[in-house]
Structure 1
Amino acid sequence: MENHPNVLAVRAALGDTAPEMVVFDEGVHTAAAAAAALGVEIGQIANSLIFEADGEPLLVLTSGAHRVDTKKVAAALGLAELGRATPEFVREHTGQPIGGVAPVGHPRPVRTLVDVELALYDEIWAAGGVPRAVFPITYPELLRVTDGTPMDVA
């Protein structure tokens, strides 16, 4: 699994200082499952959610402790609507499956918002391109590697 093309793409995107991936025996498809497996607070899990924004992908990295307020985010971005993407749309734009979408490692850059609530934690855990892989990262580093925009998304 550590040599899966998606995991390798994530490592390449993270660069020379890429943290060690943690690979589980089974997939952790939810923030609660990932937090339990890692022994961390659910808020430390960076959920990677792809939305469809006027036909384009929008990645929202949100704390596992809450849900994205799509109306609030749409209004802040000047969008009429922000819709949940289909699994096909997610894979088309990220190359990764739902439940394993990483903040980076996509075929093309994806506009990214990063939940300001994640800044409350010294260490955040994000998906590594497949549902069984995660990696630790800090909030400032997450902003840097994604070229993300900090936003209150809940």
Structure 2
Amino acid sequence: MTETLINSEKDGLEALPDSARRVALLLRERGHVKPVVLLPETGKTSAEAAAGLGCEVAQIAKSILFRRRKDNAPVLVIASGANRVDEKKVEAHVGEVGRADAKFVREMTGYAIGGVCPIGHATAPVTLIDADLFALESLWAAAGHPHAVFNLSPQELAALTGAPVVDVALRDA
């Protein structure tokens, strides 16, 4: 990790943007002891976040939101930053999905694209976790803001979300 990261435990929650502070408090409430940290540069993409953290792109637990067609329910897929999500595999678990625009993402999650956290959504999503994340010991997930992230294990991610772990990765044919 680079020295320019801001640690919410060291600097206090007041150093965090409002949305990241909300996530930090929610994590604390759920017993997660690792702090929310701020990246010096944006972490909107997995590659940007990994570069800022000094970790592998695969360790970024990216949150991708879809819109389920039959009822407009939000569908959250938490995938490895190294993977593209196979929509057909997602649909096998939740039904037909479509892309979610920025307005839908903000309304359903309460977060802007690039900062969507795996927890604390305005509307509880149907959630799936990429099985490939479980090959890793340590992950980083967005914490409600494009510069905010937090560290956790795949097992902690599953416990925090209560989501099933499934194969959602697009594989080369």
TM norm structure 1: 0.92
How far is the alpha carbon of 1:11 from its aligned partner?
Answer: 1.8
Write the letter of the residue equivalent to 1:33.
Answer: E
What TM-score, normalized to structure 2? Answer: 0.82
Q: How far apart are residue 17 of structure 1 and its match?
A: 2.7
Where does residue 21 of structure 2 map in the other structure?
Answer: 8
**Gap runs ≥5 in structure 1:** none
- SS at 1:153's partner residue? coil
> Is residue 2:100 matched to residue 1:88?
no
Aligned partners of 2:51 and 2:17: how far apart in 1? 24
Runs of 4+ with >2 A deviation? 1-5, 15-18
What RMSD, in angstroms, separates the aligned Cα atoms of the two structures?
1.4
Aligned residues: 152
- CA–CA distance in structure 1, aligned partners of residues 15 and 50 of structure 2: 20
Structure 2 residue aligned with 1:22: 37
On the 8 A contact 1:47/1:64 being kept in 2, the answer is: yes
Q: Where does residue 59 of structure 2 map in the other structure?
A: 44
Query: How far did 1:2 drift?
Result: 3.9
1:6, 1:96 within 8 Å by CA — same for their partners in 2?
yes
Contact 1:126 1:134 in 2 (8 A): yes
Higher RCO (CA-CA < 8 Å; seq separation 6+): 1
Distance apart, 1:8 and its partner CA: 2.3
- 2:39 and 2:53 in contact (8 A); partners too: no
Letter in 1 for 2:42: G
The one-letter code matched in structure 1 to 2:18 is: P
Identical aligned pairs, as a percentage?
A: 43
